[in-house]
């Protein structure tokens, strides 16, 4: 038996939870972007990548296996090695003709091994740390998990783009300048070469396109979008995608949901009238034309992938992000459509870039880099992770029945003392937040005529992507520090207030509808900070309730109920908001916070859980 070793938590918690987040964001986010770059249709991307979330949904079903066999430490390093192999598999198969099927298979391997890694890592966290350390590092582990999200959604995409630039033609670059003073022009120019060249390069109709922020009619916008789509399709720059068939209303909709919606709308909806038609005017649209200087090699295609690079995200590309040039259409004009947010009423600028490198090679290199990173994680954690004496397999001898133990693990969870109150807490603690999180961004984006705040896409991105993340992270770190001083029992009520009461900021925003950006951003920051601080209590309670012989499996089951508590309320929140309006919806959210307070009365938590004990401090 391996000798017990101790390590500073700072030596392994940041890297462990960073490694936990990377494969999740790769499977759920990076795969979507990669497939889009490689020309897979939106229909197929949405269908097949959505199923990849399944392993994280059902991971409690095989969590007992991690408890029954081998150590949590063994599972962690083994899964990191398998994740690395899966990433290498994606890298090897991306350039192949049947890459979609092959890479999907490896993404499934990544998903299952990553979900298993989550189970083992969370179990090891409880075994490798003392109670007060578990409380203290709750915010730290969440912070590094978020860093992994930022890496996947930002740095990995930048890395793939870097390789795209150096494996193809010179990038196509164009600026969009939007201003209230610009003339409203719907005409557009054909791209023209200023100099003759024998090199294969792209010509662009305008390096700087000036657009008016004045809105255009829906008919004009629809006409421009249809013209671009028809031109690109007719000349073979894009492939047609099957349109989803409209579904007939179900019997439930006709007999239950629609009558209930009409009843609620008639009694509660006050912020819009039946004649309001906000879609009559839409943001202005500008067109950029692209051609090639010469035909590609026979049988070869040059794919131009264009995207937003920097500037104001209120100016966005709506068509032409992927264009395929070949020997037949190279001299024809491919079109990119850019639309200004209809709420933008100030000068703004956005920079776009089109890259035509070897896309499969670029993504293959990116995944090889990721595979190397996980090989480093494997080697590092193989030596750095501590070896707690309590980290051992439950089934250790041939005489024990693993099959029986498997089902006893589930049974023992539901036989735990105070199980009813615990399940109520897991499902109801975030009942209000589960509904708020679905509608917070739409509320900020929606027009003031229907109760929203009318912010632009760029404004919302800044509020949530920068200010909100910072506040959320600070709240989580502070929550962990405070919980390690006084313990979970002391802090659970204040943290329940912290996660719920700041939702009042949205009640205020929906009634006051302020226009000052700092006031809106500050309100969101307060809510996000409170959520980060209060969520500490939720995490610590799951750790506390999972304590026992099967703590790893029991914690995984807790996370399953955690996901259920967010999923079900979120499913009907949008339907309800559309019926009763934002003001009444946010009041409803506050009402939904009450069960979270009520259930605290029935919880039984040891007074000393999470507190650093004196004798521990003297070791």
Q: Are residues 352 and 374 in the same domain?
A: no
Q: Are residues 21 and 160 in the same domain?
A: yes
Q: Are residues 462 and 584 in the same domain?
A: yes
**Could you give the CA distance from residue 433 to residue 562 in angstroms, rounded to a whole number?**
12
Residue given tokens 């097949």 in the structure block: 48
Band of pLDDT at residue 198, cut at 50, 70 and 90: low
Q: What is the pLDDT of residue 276?
A: 47
Q: Is residue 454 part of a domain?
A: yes
Q: What is the pLDDT of residue 143?
A: 84
pLDDT at 184 over 80: no
Q: Are residues 574 and 512 in the same domain?
A: yes
In terms of DSSP bridges, do strands 208-212 and 302-311 run parallel, antiparallel, or are they unpaired?
unpaired
Classify the C-alpha dihedral 128-558-47-306 as positive or negative. negative
Task: For residue 339, give the CATH number of its domain.
Answer: 2.60.40
Helices 99-128 and 72-93: crossing angle in degrees, nearest 10, is 160
User: What is the mean predicted confidence (pLDDT) over 174-199?
Assistant: 71
Band of pLDDT at residue 256, cut at 50, 70 and 90: low
Q: Are residues 292 and 430 in the same domain?
A: no
Band of pLDDT at residue 334, cut at 50, 70 and 90: very high
Q: Is residue 207 part of a domain?
A: yes
pLDDT at 73 over 80: yes
Using an 8 Å Cβ cutoff, are 191 and 291 in contact? yes
Task: For residue 87, give the CATH number of its domain.
Answer: 1.20.1250.20
Q: Which residues contact 440 (CB under 8 A, 6 or more apart)?
A: 506, 524, 527
Q: Are residues 299 and 363 in the same domain?
A: no
- Of 134-138, 146-150, 247-251, 456-460, the one with minimum mean pLDDT is 247-251
Q: What is the pLDDT of residue 599?
A: 92
User: What is the mean predicted confidence (pLDDT) over 516-522?
Assistant: 90
Q: Is residue 411 part of a domain?
A: no
Q: Is residue 261 part of a domain?
A: no
User: What is the mean predicted confidence (pLDDT) over 121-142?
Assistant: 82
Cα angle: 47, vertex 50, 53; to 5 degrees: 155
Determine the straight-line distance between the first and last CA of the chain, rounded to whole angstroms. Answer: 24
User: What is the mean predicted confidence (pLDDT) over 573-585?
Assistant: 86
Q: Is 606 left (phi over 0), alpha (psi -120 to 50) or beta?
A: beta
Q: Are residues 384 and 501 in the same domain?
A: no
Instruction: Indicate the burial class of 208 (C-beta count within 10 angstroms; 0-12, 13-18, 19 or more).
Output: exposed
Last residue of a domain, one of 320, 337, 356: 356
Q: Is residue 521 part of a domain?
A: yes
Look at residue 287 and give its three-state secondary structure: strand
Instruction: Indicate the burial class of 256 (C-beta count within 10 angstroms; 0-12, 13-18, 19 or more).
Output: exposed
**Could you give the CA distance from residue 500 to residue 504 in angstroms, rounded to a whole number?**
8
Q: What is the pLDDT of residue 618?
A: 42
Q: Are residues 5 and 32 in the same domain?
A: yes
Q: What is the DSSP letter of 308?
A: E
**Could you give the CA distance from residue 306 to residue 165 in angstroms, rounded to a whole number?**
12
User: What is the mean predicted confidence (pLDDT) over 233-257?
Assistant: 64
Instruction: Indicate the burial class of 397 (C-beta count within 10 angstroms; 0-12, 13-18, 19 or more).
Output: exposed
Look at residue 327 and give its three-state secondary structure: coil
- Tell me, yes or no, if the pTM score tops 0.75: no
Using an 8 Å Cβ cutoff, are 70 and 391 in contact? no
Q: What is the pLDDT of residue 39?
A: 77
Q: Are residues 218 and 342 in the same domain?
A: yes
Q: Is residue 256 part of a domain?
A: no
User: What is the mean predicted confidence (pLDDT) over 216-233?
Assistant: 90
Classify the C-alpha dihedral 314-335-174-357 as positive or negative. positive
- When the pLDDT of each residue in the chain is averaged and rounded to a whole number, the result is 83
The Cβ of residue 393 has, within 10 Å, a number of other Cβ atoms equal to: 16
Q: Are residues 511 and 573 in the same domain?
A: yes
Q: Are residues 551 and 586 in the same domain?
A: yes
Look at residue 340 and give its three-state secondary structure: strand
**Could you give the CA distance from residue 266 to residue 257 in angstroms, rounded to a whole number?**
14
Using an 8 Å Cβ cutoff, are 453 and 443 in contact? yes
Q: What is the pLDDT of residues 412-466, one digit of tens each?
A: 888 888 899 999 999 999 999 988 988 888 888 787 777 888 887 667 777 877 7
Q: Are residues 6 and 55 in the same domain?
A: yes
Q: What is the pLDDT of residues 362-385, one digit of tens each?
A: 899 999 999 999 999 999 999 999
Band of pLDDT at residue 246, cut at 50, 70 and 90: very low
Look at residue 51 and give its three-state secondary structure: helix
Q: Whole domain around residue 505: which residue ranges? A: 416-619
3-state helix, strand, coil in the chain (%, to 5): 60, 10, 30
Nearest to 137 by CA among 5, 7, 2, 4: 7
The Cβ of residue 340 has, within 10 Å, a number of other Cβ atoms equal to: 27
Classify the C-alpha dihedral 527-533-536-541 as positive or negative. negative
Residue 162 Cα distances to 153, 158, 171, 215, 494, angstroms: 15, 6, 11, 36, 47
User: What is the mean predicted confidence (pLDDT) over 108-123?
Assistant: 91
Give the dihedral of Cα atoms 378, 382, 383, 388; nearest 10 deg.
140
Using an 8 Å Cβ cutoff, are 126 and 559 in contact? no
Among 192-196, 253-257, 436-440, 517-521, the range with the most confident prediction by mean pLDDT is: 517-521
**Could you give the CA distance from residue 472 to residue 502 in angstroms, rounded to a whole number?**
13
Band of pLDDT at residue 34, cut at 50, 70 and 90: confident
pLDDT at 267 over 80: no
User: What is the mean predicted confidence (pLDDT) over 30-46?
Assistant: 79
Residue that wins the pLDDT comparison between 268 and 98: 98
- Of 10-24, 178-192, 278-292, 446-460, the one with minimum mean pLDDT is 178-192
């Amino acid at each position: 038996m391996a000798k017990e070793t101790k390590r500073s938590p700072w030596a392994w918690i940041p890297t462990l939870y960073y490694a936990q987040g990377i494969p999740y964001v790769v499977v759920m986010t990076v795969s979507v972007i990669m497939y889009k770059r490689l020309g897979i249709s939106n229909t197929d991307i949405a269908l097949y990548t959505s199923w990849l979330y399944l392993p994280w949904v059902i991971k409690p079903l095989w969590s007992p296996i991690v408890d029954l066999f081998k150590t949590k430490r063994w599972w962690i390093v083994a899964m990191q090695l398998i994740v690395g192999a899966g990433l290498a598999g994606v890298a090897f198969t991306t350039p192949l003709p049947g890459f979609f099927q092959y890479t999907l298979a490896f993404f499934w391997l990544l998903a299952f091994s990553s979900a298993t890694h989550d189970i083992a890592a969370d179990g090891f966290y409880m075994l490798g740390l003392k109670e007060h350390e578990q409380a203290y590092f709750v915010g730290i582990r969440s912070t590094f998990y978020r860093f992994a999200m930022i890496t996947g959604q930002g740095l990995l995409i930048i890395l793939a783009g870097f390789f795209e630039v150096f494996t193809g033609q010179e990038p196509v670059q164009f600026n969009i300048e939007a201003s209230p003073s610009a003339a409203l022009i719907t005409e557009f120019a054909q791209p023209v070469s200023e100099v003759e060249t024998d090199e294969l390069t792209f010509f662009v109709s305008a390096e700087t396109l000036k657009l008016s922020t004045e809105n255009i009619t829906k008919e004009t916008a629809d006409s421009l979008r249809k013209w671009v789509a028809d031109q690109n399709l007719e000349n073979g720059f894009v492939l047609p995608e099957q349109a989803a068939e409209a579904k007939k209303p179900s019997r439930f909709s006709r007999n239950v949901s629609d009558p209930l919606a009409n009843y609620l709308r008639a009694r509660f909806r006050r912020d819009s009238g039946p004649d309001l038609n906000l879609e009559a005017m839409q943001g202005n649209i500008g067109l950029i034309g692209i051609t090639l200087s010469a035909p590609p090699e026979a049988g070869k295609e040059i794919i131009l992938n264009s995207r937003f690079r920097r500037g104001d995200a209120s100016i966005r590309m709506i068509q032409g992000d992927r264009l395929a040039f070949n020997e037949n259409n190279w001299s024809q004009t491919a079109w990119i459509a850019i639309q200004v947010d209809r709420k933008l009423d100030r000068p703004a600028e956005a920079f776009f870039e089109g890259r035509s490198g070897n896309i499969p090679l670029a993504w293959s290199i990116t995944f090889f880099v990721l595979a190397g990173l996980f090989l480093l994680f494997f080697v590092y954690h193989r030596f750095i992770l501590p070896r707690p004496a309590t980290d051992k397999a439950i089934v250790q001898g041939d005489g024990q029945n693993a099959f029986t133990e498997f089902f006893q693990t589930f049974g023992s969870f539901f036989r735990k003392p105070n199980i009813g109150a615990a399940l109520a807490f897991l499902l109801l603690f975030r009942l209000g937040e589960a509904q708020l999180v679905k509608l917070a961004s739409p509320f900020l984006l929606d027009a003031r005529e229907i109760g929203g705040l009318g912010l632009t896409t760029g404004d919302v991105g800044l509020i949530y992507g920068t200010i909100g993340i910072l506040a959320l992270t600070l709240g989580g770190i502070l929550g962990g520090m405070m919980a390690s001083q006084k313990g979970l029992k002391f802090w659970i009520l204040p943290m329940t207030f912290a996660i719920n009461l700041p939702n009042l900021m949205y009640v205020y925003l929906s009634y006051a509808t302020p226009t000052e950006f700092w006031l809106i951003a500050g309100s969101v920051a307060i809510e996000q900070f409170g959520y980060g601080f209060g969520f500490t209590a939720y995490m610590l309670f799951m750790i506390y309730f999972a304590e026992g012989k099967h703590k790893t499996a029991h914690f995984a089951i807790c996370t399953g109920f955690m996901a259920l508590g967010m999923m079900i309320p979120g499913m009907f929140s949008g339907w309800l908001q559309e019926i009763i309006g934002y003001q009444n919806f946010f009041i409803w959210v506050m009402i939904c916070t009450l069960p979270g307070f009520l259930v605290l009365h029935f919880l039984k938590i040891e007074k000393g859980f999470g507190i650093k004990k004196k004798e521990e401090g003297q070791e």
